[in-house]
Structure 1
Amino acid sequence: MADLSSFPITRRWPAKHPDRLQLYSFPTPNGVKVSIMLEETGLPYEVHAVNIGKDESWTAEFLSLNPNGKIPAILDPNGPDGKPLGLFESGAILLYLAEKTGKLLPADAAGRYEAIQWVMFQMGGIGPIFGQLGFFHKFAGAAYEDKRPRERYAKESARLIRVLETRLEGRDWIMGDDYTIADISMLGWVRNLIGFYGAGELVAYDELKNVPKWLERGLARPAVQRGLEIPPRG
């Protein structure tokens, strides 16, 4: 039985199954990347809801695992060399889980780095830009009299989604025939952009043909459907 007692986060979110990977998350576009990945791989895990609406990610216990105060984070009792490993940043977690399980990442070096570059594209572009558009279009920023920030992020979001549109021309998935962590990294963000954020019209989503089909294929996957609801919002 793994001993996770040295990790302060387990004091606030105790592990009922300390032999399983511990997931600390909330069903946001970043959070569901990891829950989808875990559902796709079948790796046993235990989930703990970290309610960001109640600022639980800023508690001392959570910050002890992720000093950046953002979900998701994991604690793997069976890390490298059999030692527990705590990890944050959703992109890093996707890579770690892909390498741990040998799934959803090309085995050849060239394919591996090609997939990783698209994960980085999501981390550095789609995630932060779509998120800012969501803020200025749906949340508090929508009340700002100056609409230039919203216009800036809408324009850049439209550009980024067309990069994805071009990549998907003639491909079912970002890497072609194979569904990978590159797809997992982006599905929740594109879904949020046109759904929860209601920004489809701002980025002219209806003009696209490849991205909507890709999103439909992704959302039809049972593991994706499960992962999008983990952990439940309560």
Structure 2
Amino acid sequence: MSLYGSIQSAPANSRGFDADTVLSSATAQQFAAQGYTFCLRYLSLGAEQDAGDLSSSEASDILASGLALMVVQHVDDPGWSPSQNTGQTNGNNAATNADSIGLPPGMNVWCDLEGVAASSTAQDVINYCTAWYSAVSAAGYVPGLYVGSDAVLTGSQLYDLPFQHYWQSCSEVPALPERGYQMVQTLVQAPVNGIGIDQDVTQTDSFGGQVLWLTGSGSTSGQ
């Protein structure tokens, strides 16, 4: 059963955060009271959600606090080797886990691209990303790409991928030609409200594209 809410395009200059820590209802409310408008939590790499990653109850608490919600899938340990098969498996798992939480189709589900083995070729990464995109898109979600350190691909190669939503990490990464990024991450050194976070700010890309998040208001609808 889908979580109650609506999928919306995120206004530019919205301030949010990503966290690899379960948010209690009280903590989510603290962030909302401090002017944060959204958060990103994690989907597991495996076929089922792990303890510590997003659950249905946590998602409900986040939405009830007034924060909008998006999800990003964990990436493997640094030095991992991408392939088409791995991309398909991870993409299928991301979609399955998003659905198990009750996240409705039409919202962004993000692929974390970073820490790729130095021996990997650009084509290996392209094959991985394309297969991941296809698996997530086939499930009705809107794939997005988080571009982190050691992603191997140039800006032009990133742009040529099928993604239409890009998230710039706080690491030094290539500029994205023509389109640009829809969300930019900033490193936060000290814990906020007792947890480690990175800050994220939305922006409208050069094609008018914006990230798609789930909010707790209104009825569920895909866009």
* TM-score, shorter chain, exceeding 0.5: no
Structure with the largest fraction of strand: 2
| Length-normalised TM-score, structure 2 | 0.29
Query: Larger RCO: Structure 1 or Structure 2 (Cα < 8 Å, ≥ 6 residues apart)?
Result: 2
| Length-normalised TM-score, structure 1 | 0.28
Structure with the largest fraction of helix: 1
Larger radius of gyration: 1
